[in-house]
């Protein structure tokens, strides 16, 4: 799918093809799972080579941030399907050439839709260039990450209360509840790791773009002229991404603590069960010894002829069980 947007009084106007009269004012070409024909059309229109899906998945910095054919190629990682149990990492490539921006992506992302809606309602920064559109999209992604981190923080506090205030009377139920909490914590930790990776990629992208905007990276990458407000906006994006990355590190440490605490509680619960079995075995060992003695087949056992022999043996077995129990209780072992 190819979406084409032209600038119109600081907003985005959708056009159908590159041949329309508004085409010279195109600010944004959004490629979403685009066909080969659409890709070739954009490559021919701008004189660039658009990276493939495999090339976008490369993790080397030189494959994600580079200058080619007079254009900046910047790939970052974002997270889609954040609200589901299985969030997915998806690379997005921003290509800046002149006043035009090309975005290449293979999964729909909510921040893109939210940004377009804000621009159409006039509540976002005016779209005056491809650079301003790119910064607007990145700001929308950062806002989405911030909301998700806030939700993770609230859910982590709820999990903390569940872990340290678990009053389940049944040991099996308590262990089962803690195991479900571990699964929940694991999902949040996985999502948090993906969000941190996305924030790091945003920081790298903005640092690269800022370097080119300031003085270029080499003689082959000339300095891109950016307006003062765009440079200030870029610095604000960097600060926001950096602060969110620090907050994500804090949440990650909290989640790791909760995971360790939950595993510790499960171990304590299991040790308590084993302790009960051990105490029971020790308590019933003396009565077993008494019963074994009187179960021997000897002729000379006076108690066998005694009228009170049977009650005496039962009493002796009960006493041999009670005394170890009282001893363990006094020592605080049970």
What is the arithmetic mean of pLDDT over 226-246?
85
At residue 21, the pLDDT reads: 52
- Confidence grade of residue 146 (pLDDT, cut at 50, 70, 90): very high
- Confidence grade of residue 223 (pLDDT, cut at 50, 70, 90): very low
Read off φ and ψ for residue 3, nearest 5 degrees.
-110, 130
Which range, of 6-15, 49-58, 101-110, 257-266, averages the lowest pLDDT?
A: 6-15
Question: What is d(CA 159, CA 242) in angstroms, rounded to the nearest whole number?
Answer: 26
Higher pLDDT, 95 or 160: 95
| Per-residue pLDDT tens over the stretch 64-120 | 888 888 888 999 999 888 877 788 888 999 998 888 899 998 888 888 888 888 888
At residue 272, the pLDDT reads: 75
At residue 239, the pLDDT reads: 93
DSSP 8-class letter at 129: S
At residue 200, the pLDDT reads: 92
| Per-residue pLDDT tens over the stretch 297-312 | 667 777 777 788 788 8
Question: What is d(CA 320, CA 111) in angstroms, rounded to the nearest whole number?
Answer: 73
Question: Candidates 3.30.460.20, 3.30.365.10, 3.30.420.40, 2.40.110.10; correct CATH number of 2-272?
Answer: 3.30.460.20
Residue 174 has pLDDT above 80, yes or no: no
Percentage of the residues of the chain whose pLDDT score is greater than 90: 14
- Confidence grade of residue 212 (pLDDT, cut at 50, 70, 90): confident
| Per-residue pLDDT tens over the stretch 182-196 | 888 888 888 899 999
Outline where the chain has alpha helix (H).
36-46, 53-56, 61-64, 110-121, 130-164, 171-214, 228-283, 285-294, 302-305, 309-331
Domain boundaries, the chain: 2-272, 284-331
At residue 293, the pLDDT reads: 78
Question: What is d(CA 128, CA 228) in angstroms, rounded to the nearest whole number?
Answer: 13
Question: What is d(CA 206, CA 241) in angstroms, rounded to the nearest whole number?
Answer: 10
Question: CA dist 196 to 22, 25, 177, 238, 282, Å?
Answer: 39, 36, 29, 14, 53
**Does pTM surpass 0.85?**
no
Residue 323 has pLDDT above 90, yes or no: no
What is the arithmetic mean of pLDDT over 165-186?
69
At residue 172, the pLDDT reads: 58
Average pLDDT, the chain: 81
- Contact, 94 vs 76, CB < 8 A? yes
């Amino acid at each position: 799918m190819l979406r084409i947007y032209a600038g119109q009084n600081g907003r985005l106007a959708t056009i159908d093809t590159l041949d329309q009269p508004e085409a010279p004012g195109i600010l944004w070409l959004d490629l979403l799972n685009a066909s080969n024909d659409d890709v070739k059309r954009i490559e021919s229109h701008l004189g660039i080579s658009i990276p493939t899906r495999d090339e976008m998945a490369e993790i080397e910095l030189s494959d994600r941030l580079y200058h080619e054919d007079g254009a900046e190629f910047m790939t970052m990682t974002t997270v889609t399907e954040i609200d589901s149990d299985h969030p997915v990492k998806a690379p997005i490539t921003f290509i800046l050439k002149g006043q035009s921006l090309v975005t290449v992506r293979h999964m729909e992302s909510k921040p893109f839709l939210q940004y377009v809606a804000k621009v159409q309602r006039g509540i976002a920064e005016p779209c005056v260039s491809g650079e301003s559109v790119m910064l607007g999209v990145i700001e929308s992604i950062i806002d989405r990450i911030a909301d998700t981190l806030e939700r993770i923080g609230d859910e982590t506090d709820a999990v903390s209360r569940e872990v340290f205030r678990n009053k389940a009377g049944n040991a099996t139920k308590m262990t089962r509840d803690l195991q479900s909490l571990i699964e929940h914590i694991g999902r949040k930790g996985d999502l948090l790791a993906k969000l941190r990776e996305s924030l790091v990629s945003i920081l790298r992208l903005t640092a690269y773009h800022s370097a080119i905007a300031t003085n270029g990276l080499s003689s082959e990458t000339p300095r891109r002229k950016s307006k003062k407000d765009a440079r200030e906006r870029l610095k604000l994006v960097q600060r926001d991404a950096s602060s969110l990355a620090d907050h994500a590190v804090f949440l990650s440490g909290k989640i790791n603590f909760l995971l360790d605490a939950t595993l510790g509680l499960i171990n304590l619960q299991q040790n308590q069960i084993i302790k009960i079995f051990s105490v029971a075995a020790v308590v019933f060992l003396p009565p077993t010894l008494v019963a074994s003695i009187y179960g021997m087949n000897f002729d000379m056992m006076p108690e066998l002829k005694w009228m009170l022999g049977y009650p005496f043996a039962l009493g002796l077995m009960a006493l041999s069980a009670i005394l170890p129990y009282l001893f363990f209780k006094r020592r605080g072992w049970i």
